[in-house]
Amino acid sequence: MSDWVLKVSCAEQQLNVFSDNKLITRYAIATAAKGVGEQRNSEQTPRGSHIIRAKIGAHCKPNTVFVGRRPTGEYYTPSLKLQFPTRDWILTRILWLSGLEVGKNRLGLCDTMRRYIYIHGTPDDVVLGVPSSHGCIRMHNNDIIHLFDLVPVGTTVFISE
């Protein structure tokens, strides 16, 4: 069995995937526009050690729209974007994160899972490599599908500033 680890660098806007301590692949991402932080309602990306608590969206088509972790029956298109210009698009797959560090990113006012922090798909026309999310880690759709299929629930995710 492989030992998977994801390392998210907010400074570099990259997600690196390691298996048995070897770099397997890396992806361009977008973390929070408001920087890093762990407090509820901060819209910041939480730092520290996490795990993938749940994987949501297996077998959904690319560009499936999720609200409240449920497919809406919609598929993202430019015309749908015009119809809902302020929607925070969560597409294709969701890797729901849970913090492992009590008092830092777990429990109380800093709980990553209760903040609904995900690694998720975003429209392919969204520029990655620039902080722009509301706290989550955004990836292009083909990349999140690949990552989703690659790593199991329980995978360690370390998020650094």
Q: Is the pLDDT of residue 2 over 70?
A: no
pLDDT one-digit tens code per residue, 22-60: 999 999 999 999 999 999 999 999 999 999 999 999 999
**Phi, psi dihedrals of residue 100, rounded to the nearest 5°:** -110, -5
CATH code assigned to 4-160: 2.40.440.10
The answer to whether residues 17 and 147 touch, using CB atoms and an 8 Å cutoff, is: yes
Q: Confirm if 18 and 5 have CB atoms less than 8 A apart.
A: yes
Kindly give the pairing relationship between strand 90-99 and strand 118-122: antiparallel
- Token pair 């762990």 is at which residue? 38
Q: Cα(139)–Cα(121) distance, rounded to whole angstroms?
A: 5
Cross-strand pairs, 159? 8, 48
CA–CA separation, 68 vs 149, rounded Å? 22
User: Which residue is it, tokens 């899972």?
Assistant: 113
Residues 95-142: pLDDT tens digits?
999 999 999 999 999 999 999 999 999 999 999 999 999 999 999 999
User: Which tokens hold the place of 143?
Assistant: 């990349």
First to last CA, the chain: 30
Phi, psi of 147 (to 5 degrees): -65, -45
